[in-house]
Structure 1
Amino acid sequence: MGETSGPYLRYVALGDSQTEGLGDGDDDTGLRGWADRLAERLAEQDAGVRYANLAVRGRLAGQVRAEQLGPALALRPDLATVVAGVNDMLRPSFDADVVAGHLEAMFAALTASGARVATLTFPDLAAVVPLARPVRSRVRALNRGIREAAGRHGVAVADTYGHAVVTDARLWSADRLHAAPIGHARIAASVGHALGLPGADDSWTHPLLPPLPAGSRGGRHTTTTAAELRWAATFLGPWLRRRLRGGSSGDGRTAKRPELTPVLGAAPGGPVPQGHPRER
């Protein structure tokens, strides 16, 4: 867990679709996501908190650095979160050292500006998507690079890898690439814990109750071949077609919250204590 500090009044989030909030709301009603939830938690401590979210879906780590770092520094945050790399891991040209280098450059610049910085490690994607077994070693390599880079710059790390709950199917949306609302709540709680926010603890690591029934997707539970094929046709196929055309889900999109603005408080049905019935 990171050192306790604060209060944080200027929070800026950098990243890709997870930080943008995909899986928690939609483009019609609005996306929420873990960064919004973290901002709401900060605002519970001080109503003067202002928050910007520069994340855009589909962005590679190098694109996050090129497109979001400058605007983030211009906003003079006292807290920044930097989460990127999953999109890189799914590319044939993935190089863990290159991706970690982009993340480290952002860590260095933001901490040098006086901001407290937090980041995440990634879960074992193969435990969520069996077809992702070939990238298991990539996840481990990138997580190692994230931890080392964070250690060199005093960055708080919410180390989600290795906790069984993060591969529980109920934390993931239907596409299995983005967190569901419950998952976003857990991510926000993990970052709050890493930052040492008041009231934060390790309850985000606790399993959901009741346990998943035997044979259900998630953790070590089995998944049928038919279900995997349906998932591949519904979600993996469109993703691959975009890649082959050189496109991205974020083409033509801009940040949902490019300026620091007040946090208006938790949305209806907002954060609940970990293990609360509304989580299930």
Structure 2
Amino acid sequence: MGNGYLRFAALGDSTTVGLGDPVPGGGWRGWARLLAESLRTSYDVSFCNVAVSGATAGVVRERQLDEALAHRPDLASLLVGVNDTLRSTWDPERLRADLLHVAGALTDGGATLMTVRWHDHGALLGLPRVLTRPMGERIAVVNEVYDELHAAYGGLRLDLALMPEVLDRTCWSIDRFHPSELGHRALARAWAERLQAEGYDFPLPGREPCGGCPPSWRRDVAWMVTEGAPWFGRRARDLGPWAVRRALAAAR
């Protein structure tokens, strides 16, 4: 695919915001920006990241979609759904409706979709399987929706469960929910490989850390105290009682 003007919109939650990949002076970079930077070596890229930490599929539909459509993207990444599984308001039918609406609007606008199949986040937390199984069941439902979405609208997709980096601890932040800089680089590179297979001509993003903040246990601990622990606390209050009930029912 020849060089030219390329519009890229990134929609989703904290993974697309870039949490886990800090930059000097504050803020986050993340896989989407890394990918955009690599594309810029060959294309005139207009990059729009409308992702928001904590976003659900409904938030993407209500608060991100219009801005993304206004960007008139050629490429549109849609990575969301995990936060839906962590809430007591979990509603598979609403999730399906929201994701299909967003995907349809983006493709109708001329964008090539970039979507994922999620890995089992709960399995990485080191908790007893009886507690993480309920979350895994919800992730499976989200993946079924993404399968339907891909069958209906096509595009590119990445099966995270098949990426060896998912099992590499260095590719995860201290919370094991968000990629580290290495994890974000692995995501950017995997997407770049798929774009190259579609005819895009540009160099792959590098695998090694470059230009971000070096790893720091002090920064990791500070993040866990100020951001991570409160987040886990909110999710525990929201999802915990349901998970415990499911675990007790499964043990009977």
What TM-score do you get using the length of structure 2 for normalisation? 0.75
Following superposition, the deviation at residue 179 of structure 1 comes to 0.4
* Alpha-carbon distance between aligned partners in 2 of 1:20 and 1:234, rounded to the nearest angstrom: 18
* Alpha-carbon distance between aligned partners in 2 of 1:6 and 1:85, rounded to the nearest angstrom: 33
- Show the counterpart of 1:269: none
- Once the two structures are superposed, residues 12-38 of structure 1 have per-residue CA deviations (whole angstroms, 9 ceiling, x without a partner) of 111111100000006942211000011
Following superposition, the deviation at residue 80 of structure 1 comes to 1.0
- Show the counterpart of 1:146: 146
Matches within 5 A, 1:8-47: 9-25=6-22, 28-46=25-43
Q: Sort the Cα spacing of 1:147 and 1:6 in 2 relative to 1 into closer, same or farther, 3 A.
A: farther
- What stretches of structure 1 move > 3 A for 4+ residues in a row? 4-8, 197-201, 232-237, 240-246
* Alpha-carbon distance between aligned partners in 1 of 2:203 and 2:161, rounded to the nearest angstrom: 19
- Once the two structures are superposed, residues 213-270 of structure 1 have per-residue CA deviations (whole angstroms, 9 ceiling, x without a partner) of xxxxxxxxxxxxxxxxxxx999775224445899xxxxxxxxxxxxxxxxxxxxxxxx
- Number of matched pairs: 215
SS in 1 for 2:157: strand
Unmatched runs of 5 consecutive residues or more in structure 2: 209-223, 239-252
RMSD: 3.0
- Show the counterpart of 2:185: 185
Q: Is the 8 A contact 2:41 2:202 kept in 1?
A: no
Specify which of 231, 237, 240 is matched with residue 239 of structure 1.
231
* Alpha-carbon distance between aligned partners in 2 of 1:29 and 1:236, rounded to the nearest angstrom: 17
Q: Sort the Cα spacing of 1:86 and 1:103 in 2 relative to 1 into closer, same or farther, 3 A.
A: same
Following superposition, the deviation at residue 181 of structure 1 comes to 0.5
Q: Sort the Cα spacing of 1:167 and 1:93 in 2 relative to 1 into closer, same or farther, 3 A.
A: farther
Q: Sort the Cα spacing of 1:102 and 1:6 in 2 relative to 1 into closer, same or farther, 3 A.
A: farther
Say yes or no: does 1:56 pair with 2:48. no
* Alpha-carbon distance between aligned partners in 2 of 1:192 and 1:181, rounded to the nearest angstrom: 16
Decide which structure has greater helix share: 2
Say yes or no: does 1:198 pair with 2:201. yes
* Alpha-carbon distance between aligned partners in 2 of 1:18 and 1:166, rounded to the nearest angstrom: 14
Matches within 5 A, 1:164-183: 164-183=164-183
SS in 1 for 2:41: helix
SS in 2 for 1:59: coil
Q: Percent identity?
A: 38
